[in-house]
Amino acid sequence: MKQREREGETEERREGERERRRGEKRNRERETTGATVGGGCGDGGASDGGCQSQIAARRPIASASASTSASASARWCVERALDWGPGGRPDLLVDDGGDLTLLIQERVRAEEEYEKTGKFPDIDCTSNAEFKILREIIKDGLKSDPKKYRKKVERIVGVSGETTTGAKRLYQMAAEGVLLFPAINVNDSVTKSKFDNIYGCRHSLPDGLVRATENMIAGKVVVVCGYGDVGKGCSAAVKRAGARVFMTEADPICALQAVMEGIPVLTLDDNIVSEADIFVTVAGNRNIITVNHMKKMQHWPIRQ
Ligand SMILES: NC(=O)c1ccc[n+]([C@@H]2O[C@H](COP(=O)([O-])OP(=O)(O)OC[C@H]3O[C@@H](n4cnc5c(N)ncnc54)[C@H](O)[C@@H]3O)[C@@H](O)[C@H]2O)c1
């Protein structure tokens, strides 16, 4: 009996040693991918990683080589979302971020231009990486069926904008007179923004962070950028999980609300950027965290 117990213990130790070596190997491999910082979540609109914000990679670690294939897979996903086989087309769009509506609108514009002039959209006329991908998608499909999206639009009854950033984009399109079908702003319904944005993110942020990092939130320093509905939920979640939380906020009322909740409000140019372990951007804006900020961040604040 004792002999068998000892054998069991030895095998356990060996397995522990093998796992330790596997862990070291994984870490070495990660070091060589050029991965950068250790935190980030939220959607904040479209990214290079998916056809809509929810698909955008939640994992904060991205290497340059991954982004090329991400663009290709994004293109494939967007096309598949609207490709319902021969004769099949959607009646309604549920658009979380406005990217799908933008694609349809730009493709219809390109089809009309192509019919008139025979010209394809110029991909290099923009330095915006997302817009380049969008134009590549449009160019790819234009040759095979130059009326495809105009046929789709005939059938589409309308679009619903599900998130703050998407709703703002749809309003912008409507103001410019380019919206091709009616849009419903679902986000601004109180039963959405005052529940999903706050309490949904209060749940999904820690879930996403823990899954992505396999680390505890307790004891970490977390900076949440933006104290709107989503920021309120996110900061409450990480605070309750035991993190030390700091906010950045552009709006004085929201900033004061954060202070009243006991959360210090700073700017990223304060020293906090070099001390924090996790950054959450929920301002729905660009250039919240810049390369200069990233250069000051800790290297590998979180390891798996
Ligand atoms: N992942 C999800 O499940 C989910 C759900 C809902 C909304 N969202 C997205 O989250 C983002 C925020 O949504 P929201 O409903 O909280 O919007 P919101 O407008 O209520 O809040 C945004 C806050 O960011 C602040 N802000 C703007 N620019 C800033 C800057 N430069 N620095 C600091 N603060 C700044 C604004 O003052 C505002 O208080 C949007 O992009 C939205 O689409 C994600």
What pLDDT tens digit does each residue of the chain (304 aa) get?
Answer: 555 555 555 666 666 666 666 655 555 554 333 322 223 333 333 232 223 333 233 333 333 334 445 566 776 787 788 888 887 889 999 998 888 899 899 999 999 999 999 999 988 888 888 788 888 888 888 888 899 999 999 999 999 999 999 999 999 999 999 999 999 999 999 999 999 999 999 999 999 999 999 999 999 999 999 999 999 999 999 999 999 999 999 999 999 999 999 999 999 988 899 999 999 999 998 899 999 999 999 998 888 6
Displacement of CA 284 from its chain's centroid (Å): 10
Atom of ligand 1 nearest to the CA of 201: 3
- CA–centroid distance, 54 to ligand 1, in Å, is 14
Atom of ligand 1 nearest to the CA of 165: 43
| Closest C-alpha residue for ligand 1 atom 3 | 201
Question: Any idea what the CATH number is for the domain that residue 231 is in?
Answer: 3.40.50.720
From 164, 188, 212, the end of a domain falls on 188
- CA–centroid distance, 43 to ligand 1, in Å, is 9
Domain range for 98 is 87-188
DSSP state for residue 198 in the 8-state scheme: I
Atom of ligand 1 nearest to the CA of 45: 41
Q: φ and ψ at 157, to 5 degrees?
A: -80, -35
Is the same domain home to 291 and 213? yes
Is the same domain home to 117 and 158? yes
From 166, 188, 210, the end of a domain falls on 188
AA letter at 251? D
Atom of ligand 1 nearest to the CA of 283: 24
Atom of ligand 1 nearest to the CA of 288: 31
DSSP state for residue 70 in the 8-state scheme: H
Is the minimum distance from the CB of 163 to ligand 1 under 6 angstroms? yes
Please give the tally of structural domains in the chain.
Answer: 2
Is the minimum distance from the CB of 165 to ligand 1 under 6 angstroms? yes
- CA–centroid distance, 232 to ligand 1, in Å, is 10
pTM of the model: 0.77
Is the minimum distance from the CB of 167 to ligand 1 under 6 angstroms? no
Q: Are 60 and 278 in contact (CB under 8 A)?
A: no
Is the minimum distance from the CB of 104 to ligand 1 under 6 angstroms? no
**Residue 181 within a domain:** yes
Is the minimum distance from the CB of 103 to ligand 1 under 6 angstroms? no
**Residue 24 within a domain:** no
- CA–centroid distance, 225 to ligand 1, in Å, is 8
**Residue 61 within a domain:** no
C-alpha 57/C-alpha 13 separation (Å) is: 37
| Closest C-alpha residue for ligand 1 atom 39 | 228
C-alpha 133/C-alpha 265 separation (Å) is: 36
| Burial status of residue 57 (CB atoms within 10 A of its CB: 0-12, 13-18, 19 or more) | middle
C-alpha 243/C-alpha 241 separation (Å) is: 6
Neighbours of 296 (CB within 10 A): 13
Is the same domain home to 170 and 202? no
C-alpha 68/C-alpha 240 separation (Å) is: 38
Q: Is the dihedral of CA 86, 91, 95, 98 positive or negative?
A: positive
Is the same domain home to 150 and 222? no
**Residue 65 within a domain:** no
C-alpha 95/C-alpha 161 separation (Å) is: 5
Mutation choice for ligand 1 from 163, 165, 170, CB with most ligand atoms inside 8 A: 163
Is the minimum distance from the CB of 45 to ligand 1 under 6 angstroms? yes
**Residue 48 within a domain:** no
